[in-house]
Amino acid sequence: MKKLATLMAFMATSCCLSALELPEQLGDHAVLQQLAEVKLWGWASPEALVSVMPSWSSDKYDVKADRHGRWSMRVLTPAGSYKSHSITFVEGSDTITINDILIGEVWLAAGQSNMEMPMIGFNSQPVEGAGRDIARSGRLRDRVRMAYIVRGDKYEPQERIGGRWKVASPENTPYFSAQGFYFARELNDLIDVPIGILCVSYGGTQIEGWLPREILEWHGYDFEAMKAEKDRLPAYRYSTKYTSMIYPLIGYTIKGFLWNQGESNVSNPDRYCELLEEMVAQWRSDWGDTDNSLPFYQTENPGFGWGNPDAVFAAMVREQQNMAVKVIPNCGITCTNDLAYTYETDVIHGTRKREIGERMAWQVAERQYGLKGMPWRSPEYNSMIKCDDGSVRIRFDNAEYGLTPNIGNVEGFEVADVDGKFHKAEAVVDWNTPEVIVSCPDKISDIKHVRYCFKNFSCGNLKNSFGMPAVPFRTDKFKE
């Protein structure tokens, strides 16, 4: 009798347990994409009827769970505003209501530690100006929100991942991605709707970690050999960030992707553009994007010495990043080579995250939201013209109002003749054209090749009239 009573009590308790569940990302304080058919999903009793009622509409949406209890549906959202909404989910007698929902613009920000780096910084590596911005962040409660996705490292695709939405506040903002926060704050100022950031970052990861196994094996990667390496760091495991962190979020309706990664691929820079192109195509396909309408914005890797500041393997990754902009549709990049201080040779997590986030927001504001005249374009190498006196003229695009510094030497230029040995060059801006005059009279009389800031660590000072830095480049194709 005692066993029977215990069993009946357990059954009664079990009957009261709710089968209705939502992913953590569909919770209080969430931001949903405006003017879209946003995806809502969760779990319920197998083949149960689930009803969804958003507060912004009188419509009730019904969907039947599959035999595993999984369900999903699309719900129309209104234009973005600062009005707080709720959504109620019902299965039988079970009800879940999520509150304080905002409708605005949602961006997925992914990558390694420079995207992960929180406003509070890493040990002995602060974010410049973060203290003041944290203190004042409470006024952004209904303007900037972030869901910081929990790290994952499973080989098999995961259905769920942790990471709840948080409002900007002095309590929460210290743990927001600094680049994500500054991007969101600036974009909110420009377009005046709430901005939500899904931060999906994992320090130290290679791009291979963000791609599915099938693509990597097609490219010749030995997946089983990698799995057999007992001492392989979790950050360096192929595919696990895709299966554990991207896969569970597939379909959360977003405006586009932000990306800051590449430092961990300095050992194989030649493949980076190709792999990035594959990754963007895969993510767009996962989100049902058939016409490249989901934009993808990169961040140029920061300067870092890697034990040899004058070597070029890190510069070759940046070159690959800029190549990717040319081959990936609806893709952009934010140039950062001027944002390292000269003493940061051995600091891989640069302090100046505000400028990166703001520059990225300016580009997004014009290209995605139609705000004309935003000062995001960096000067880019156009051509080289040889002069009779042995110098060369380097012409730049995106410098119609001239280049600066207009007095003194431009730092970062190097030149070589046919032997490929590079020497520091003298470089001055021509006030009347978008050109830099480069020479090296003591070492080279016949310049064949020119480089600008093409090193692991090089602080450039060449900018256009809007203060945007020139993109590092080289005219040669030497491997080193």
Span 222-230, average pLDDT? 92
Q: By the 8 A CB rule, do 409 and 426 touch?
A: yes
- Using a pLDDT cut of 70, give the percent of the chain over it: 96
CATH, residue 33: 2.60.40.10
Give 185-247 as a DSSP string. HHHHHHH-S-EEEEEEE-TT--GGGGS-HHHHHHTT--HHHHHH-TT--GGG-TTHHIIIIIG
- Same domain (yes/no): 73, 26: yes
> Would you state the pLDDT for residue 7?
47
3-state secondary structure of 5: helix
Q: Is residue 191 part of a domain?
A: yes
CATH, residue 322: 3.40.50.1110
- Same domain (yes/no): 270, 329: yes
- Same domain (yes/no): 155, 280: yes
Q: Is residue 284 part of a domain?
A: yes
- Residue 403: how many CB atoms within 10 A of its CB? 23
Q: What confidence category does residue 9 fall into, taking pLDDT thresholds of 50, 70 and 90?
A: very low
Q: What confidence category does residue 480 fall into, taking pLDDT thresholds of 50, 70 and 90?
A: low
Token pair listed for 422:
């590079």
Span 158-182, average pLDDT? 98
Look at the alpha carbons of 6, 21, 102, 260 in this order and tell me if their dihedral is positive or negative: positive
- Same domain (yes/no): 328, 435: no
Closest by CA position to 146, among listed 170, 121, 124, 163: 163
> Would you state the pLDDT for residue 11?
47
- Same domain (yes/no): 414, 277: no
Q: Please list the alpha-helical segments (H only) found in 337-469.
A: 353-369
Span 134-141, average pLDDT? 98
Of 321, 341, 369, which closes a domain? 369
Q: By the 8 A CB rule, do 357 and 183 touch?
A: yes
- Please give the model's pTM, rounded to 2 decimal places: 0.94
- Same domain (yes/no): 126, 70: no
> Would you state the pLDDT for residue 478?
86
> Would you state the pLDDT for residue 3?
52
The span from the CA of 349 to the CA of 370, in Å, is: 32
- In this predicted structure, the answer to whether residue 249 has a pLDDT above a threshold of 50 is yes
Q: Is residue 10 part of a domain?
A: no
- Using a pLDDT cut of 90, give the percent of the chain over it: 92
Q: How many domains does the chain have?
A: 3
Find the domain containing 433 and state its range. Answer: 381-474
- In this predicted structure, the answer to whether residue 12 has a pLDDT above a threshold of 50 is no
